[in-house]
Amino acid sequence: MKAQELRAMTREELSVQIEEFYQELFNLRFQAATRQLADTSRLGQVRRDISRAKTILHELDQRVEE
């Protein structure tokens, strides 16, 4: 997911999206462990999406504190 799409979300939507990313990451790890994962690069993509979403959420929190 692109940063621009994440920036358009509210805090609540971002939190829900992060949870969905974690669920997807869990499923991908499970598939990788059982040798059913076809696209292994997706693991890295999801980890980066989680990081990107958390960064944007942190930026939003920093704005509130100022």
- CA 66 centroid distance within chain: 26
Domain residues for 56? 3-65
Q: What is the mean pLDDT of residues 4-11?
A: 95
Residue 57 has pLDDT above 90, yes or no: yes
pLDDT tens readout for residues 18-56: 999 999 999 999 999 999 999 999 999 999 999 999 999
Separation between Cα atoms, residue 14 and residue 63, nearest integer Å: 15
Which DSSP letter does residue 8 get?
Answer: T
Check residue 13 and give its pLDDT: 96
Tell me phi and psi for residue 35, to 5 degrees: 60, 35
Write down the pLDDT at residue 40.
94
Cα–Cα distance measured from residue 35 to residue 38, given in angstroms and rounded to the nearest whole number: 8
Quote the number of domains for the chain. 1
Tell me what pLDDT residue 65 has.
Answer: 74
CATH number at residue 53: 1.10.287.310
Confidence of residue 17 (pLDDT cuts 50, 70, 90): very high
